[in-house]
Structure 1
Amino acid sequence: MRVAILFDNFGPYHVARLAGAAAVGLEVLGVEVRGKSAVYDWEAHPFPAGISRVHLTETSLVPTWKSVSQALAESVIPFRPDALAVPGWSSLSALAALAFARRRRIPVILMSESNADDCARHSIVERMKSRLVGLFAAGLVGGRRAEDYLVQLGMPPSAVFLGYDAVDNDYFISRTKAYRKLGAMPGMEPGRVLPTQFRGRYFLSSARFIQKKNLFSLLEAYALVRSRWGKDSEPWPLVILGDGALRSALAARRAELALDAHVHMPGFKQYSELPAYYGTAGAFVLTSTTEQWGLVVNEAMASGLPVAVSRRCGSAETLVVDGENGVTFEPDPPAIADALLWIARHVDRDALSRASLAKIAQWGPERFGRGLSDAAVAALSRDPRPPGVGDAVLLRAAAEIQARRS
């Protein structure tokens, strides 16, 4: 079966999923909207051998409805796909691809990680989304909350499948082993070094420095952790990977809390640099107040780390079993502090690590491939209502709204 898979830009996560789809026997065409991500400063990632790839544009500029449609006609139609998979309904390129495929009677699979409680919902907007969802033939989602939301919007339960959110588990398993006991400690901010005594004994987080990641609460929680640590051992440091508009404000708050010597912010790290941090940390924490999934949790678990994850993250319900491979929490400082202390004080962190590895083994790239394959079969068996004039108007209107937001 031939499936074309569209993403805005091929970062390491997307490449792993394409490989997973090919591994289960699908003939895959990777369709990249633009050559550079508008959100992440990823370096070019090696592309799997044997998978075809096309670019709709080489620039990081916002594509137009016309340019996407023309590029799809030139690059996707010759592939003769049985189905087209697109990421969500919130970009002009995804909506243009949906309209393009429907005009040519190509079933479209909606890849989504949206949850009903991601943000405040408004009835008029939800009705518009329901109309859009009706144009898709099947859905591939991250977890049960995303599945429930897609069904709520009108997708039949029999047409929704799990497995969308996956990373290259084998990459993190193999690369972090080298750092677990012998590898050099990773770099911190210029002039700052994390002593080797903290190998396997520091908290790690990784996030863009934006409001919803709740990093100010993480700093306040960490201050509570240090105040409650006790005198038997030195408290674990905290390392926060990432960058963004709030960096200066976070650095100032770190200083106000007298944490400069204990909280490290080494900046954004490329994919090749991540194993050094995952492989030398003792636990991973994600404190977001809203997060559709949180692929960094997958990465941490594939690296064998216990995880502390906000219950507002889509991955929490699916990947974290409280008391088994980590703990979930409400994203306020006292609850975050309790979670960090629970992991640090656990009598058998190795058992937590083994549980993380066992759990994430069920959610690798092959799970994406199986889910996509099942969605494609379901899409081919369905006959969604044909698009009408009103649908065309709705798609163009939604695309214009997204273009203005970009």
Structure 2
Amino acid sequence: MIPRLLYLVSHPIQYQAPLLRLIAADSGLHLRVLFERVDTVAGYHDPGFGTHVRWDVPLRDGYDNIALAETDLAAEIAAADVIWLHGWASPVMRRTLRLAARLGKPVLMRAENWDGAMPDGIGPRGWLKRLYLRWIFARCRGFLAIGSANGAYYRRFGINDDRIITMPYAVDNAFFAAHAAQADTASLRHELGIEPEQQVILYAGKFQRRKHPEQVVAAWKSLRQPRPALLMVGDGEMRAELEAMAEPGMIFAGFRNQTQLPAFYALADVFVLPSEHEPWGLAVNEAMACGTAVVVSDQVGAAFDLVDDSTGAVFAAGDIAALTVGLAHVLDQSEIRGQAAASRIATWDFRADLAGLHKAVAHVLG
């Protein structure tokens, strides 16, 4: 009998939609997706970007899905063989854990936590958080680790290795690689005012304090002349502050949607993510899939699995001098490191996700 897998997630997520279509097409699993909310599909105000966002890729097509408001949670759980949760923060997730336990349904947990991004804290607050997490984890049969730091997080709570199955945090590599290959980067350079042979440093994401785009600007200013162009793609609360830091060679391109991003990655020689407390950083995957070298802080979850000297550089979070050195080092051999990045990300993909999910389902149904 084909296992019936119920996946519960907060809302349709642009990164996940192609993975869900792949799982739905697999003959070895019967997938049904339950969204806590679906109002974001028509567009919404994203507080991180500080602007209205409507993703230009299909979010609910190609797989069986339903909104929680349109069904009964207990009935959905009762009809499934395995429950897969994306996180545990919402009351609905916690209710699902209780219902699954009552109905004898095994739960697979997939979340983004690792100690650098979401530390327990100290004192009574840390003790209470650990108590709460032990309650959550005791109701899960298996754990889908998105990367090595995430797996280590579960082990710290006493989860045995046989209950931790790798399901890497991935993007649609084929989508980004194909769009990057087709991109007219010469025209994009002209549009942005970048010289034909000038190197390009790219920051793409939310202009938020935790992500530290201002550190990219400071490091760029420290590079020796002639400097590469600094391309800032995105928007958010720090926009005015960053614009006040601007010098010639720094370009703001605004928010860009999913189908537009590959051209920017393809144009860049290096992508930078200097965040602190970053659970993963899927933009790192996107850049690497487009053949772009990456420089990230050591507080970016993806750094532990995807970034080393062959694909880019990792620097100590907050150390602008180290970021500057890392940028100069990677720019010196950006093409070679970009090729290595594409090679490295090739197996960190949805096929590996599907294999991990199959292994996890078989384990909990054991």
Under a length normalisation based on structure 1, what TM-score does the superposition of the two structures give? 0.79
Question: CA 1:86/1:77 → structure 2, altered by over 3 Å: closer, same or farther?
Answer: closer
**Post-superposition shift, 1:177?**
0.6
- The question of whether the paired residues in 2 share the 8 Å contact of 1:11 and 1:44 is answered with no
Instruction: Please tell me the residue identity of whatever aligns with 1:313.
Output: V
1:374 and 2:324 are equivalent in the alignment: no
Q: How does 1:5-404 map to 2 (within 5 A)?
A: 5-22=7-24, 24=26, 25-37=28-40, 39=46, 41-43=53-55, 45-47=57-59, 50-57=62-69, 71-73=72-74, 76-77=76-77, 80-121=79-120, 122-179=126-183, 182=186, 184-185=188-189, 193-197=192-196, 201-225=199-223, 229-230=224-225, 234-252=226-244, 254=245, 259-322=246-309, 324-331=310-317, 332-346=319-333, 349-381=334-366
* Aligned match of 1:402: none
**Post-superposition shift, 1:48?**
7.4
Structure possessing the higher relative contact order (Cα contacts under 8 Å, 6 or more residues apart): 1
Instruction: Please tell me the residue identity of whatever aligns with 2:11.
Output: N
Q: Comparing both structures, which one devotes a greater share of its residues to strand?
A: 2
Superposition CA RMSD, Å: 2.3
Instruction: Please tell me the residue identity of whatever aligns with 1:55.
Output: A
**Post-superposition shift, 1:244?**
1.7
**Post-superposition shift, 1:50?**
4.8
**Post-superposition shift, 1:299?**
0.3
Aligned length: 348
Instruction: Please tell me the residue identity of whatever aligns with 2:336.
Output: A
SS class of match (1:292): coil
Instruction: Please tell me the residue identity of whatever aligns with 2:313.
Output: V
Q: Matches of 2:56 and 2:141 in 1, distance apart? A: 32
Structure 1: gaps spanning 5 or more residues: 59-69, 188-192, 382-406
Question: CA 1:71/1:271 → structure 2, altered by over 3 Å: closer, same or farther?
Answer: farther
Q: Matches of 2:254 and 2:363 in 1, distance apart? A: 43
- The question of whether the paired residues in 1 share the 8 Å contact of 2:21 and 2:62 is answered with no
- The question of whether the paired residues in 1 share the 8 Å contact of 2:7 and 2:32 is answered with yes
**Post-superposition shift, 1:186?**
8.1
Question: CA 1:44/1:321 → structure 2, altered by over 3 Å: closer, same or farther?
Answer: same
Q: Matches of 1:162 and 1:138 in 2, distance apart? A: 11
**Post-superposition shift, 1:103?**
2.5
Question: CA 1:97/1:196 → structure 2, altered by over 3 Å: closer, same or farther?
Answer: farther
**Post-superposition shift, 1:23?**
5.3
Question: CA 1:4/1:198 → structure 2, altered by over 3 Å: closer, same or farther?
Answer: farther
Structure 2: gaps spanning 5 or more residues: 121-125
Of all paired residues, the percent bearing the same amino acid is: 26
**Post-superposition shift, 1:99?**
2.4
**For structure 1, which segment, 335-344 or 113-122, has the greater mean C-alpha deviation from structure 2 after superposition?**
113-122
* Aligned match of 2:123: none
- The question of whether the paired residues in 1 share the 8 Å contact of 2:86 and 2:110 is answered with yes
Q: Matches of 2:183 and 2:321 in 1, distance apart? A: 32
Q: Matches of 1:244 and 1:139 in 2, distance apart? A: 34
SS class of match (2:340): helix
